[in-house]
Amino acid sequence: MSTQEHVEEHVHRDDIRSRMGMWLFLFSELLLFGGLFLIYSVYRFMHPHAFSIASKEMNTFFGTMNTIILLTSSLTMALAIAAIQRGKKILSICLQITTILFGAAFMVNKFLEWSAEFREGNFPGSAVLQSKPQGQILYFGLYYSMVGLHGIHVLVGMTVIAFMLRFTIKGVINKDNYVKLEAAGLYWHLVDIIWIFLFPLFYLIT
Amino acid sequence: MEKNITHKEHTHSYSIYFLVWLALITLTGLTAAVAGINFGKLSVVVAIVIAMAKSYLVLTEFMHLKMEQKAFKVFVFVALLFLTISFTLLFTDYSFYVR
């Protein structure tokens, strides 16, 4: 406790505002994905039947697996912060590596899933897709843009956590100063929340 | 300074995280299971409600919103309120759209 006060007196550091800044950034992400969800809702409202047919072509197994992977990665991220709070550096490092590996597993799954879709000819601009009704074309367009944008976020999250890992190893992130890791965690959990909505909307609708 | 000290006091417990994770996995199983049942137009409502419950758990526990100052909660509430307003206004229009 005294260390924290000491640091606060001599180095200008404000963890609360740092986290607030991160939250403000997350709100901009909410706008980004919120807009896409708005488009999804309108198109689905206008083409309910086509969306239902197109979603049946989705591989629910991949979707469910990826949900479990991402939820578990959120757990390991939260635990990594709890560990560094207790000064357990090695444990925190291991948990951060696990989080990155889960992120990688998510992307591998995504790669396999998209490869399968591409083999079936369900990719934007393909002859197979162009011959389908407009609603299904819109569905696949939204699927690739929203899930793709989410995938980019997973990659960015993995990169950010990799930097945090380096900071933790070097001791920049430590028991008394872990706000960077908290901010990275917030980003990772937001990516998780977005997937929580993408999963039922693209894989489970009937 | 006072604020930083309060923050330090919140050492997050491991066990809560495991419980939250268990709840999230259970809800995922639930949402996948009920997807097989045809609720008609209610299907999407059920899926969204479960997704919201999961998000609530992630926001309050994993993202520590529960322990943050009130300002954080107000911010998140306002952000979500405006998203809700966007959807509501959009559908006050599209609900009357004749296909």
Interface test with A, best of B1, B3, B4, B37 (most A CBs within 10 A): B4
Exposed, middle or buried: residue A181 (CB in 10 Å: 0-12, 13-18, 19+)? buried
Among A16-25, A47-56, A146-155, B76-85, which is the least confidently predicted range? A47-56
- Residue B83 touches chain A, beta carbons under 8 Å: yes
pTM, entire model: 0.89
End-to-end CA distance of chain A, in Å? 54
Domain range annotation of chain A? 17-203
Q: ipTM score here? A: 0.88
pLDDT value at residue B3: 44
Amino acid symbol at A38: L
For helices A134-170 and A48-56, angle between their N-to-C axes, nearest 10 degrees: 60
Contact B72, A23 (CB under 8 A): yes
Cross-chain CB nearest to A197 (options B17, B51, B99) = B51
From its phi and psi, is residue A87 left (phi > 0), alpha (psi between -120 and 50) or beta?
left
**Residues A145-189: tens digit of each pLDDT:** 999 999 999 999 999 999 999 999 999 999 999 999 999 999 999
Which residues contact residue A115 at a Cβ distance below 8 angstroms, ignoring those fewer than 6 apart? none
Query: Which pair of structure tokens corresponds to residue A7?
Result: 């640091």
Thinking of the domain A17-203, which architecture would CATH place it in? Up-down Bundle (1.20)
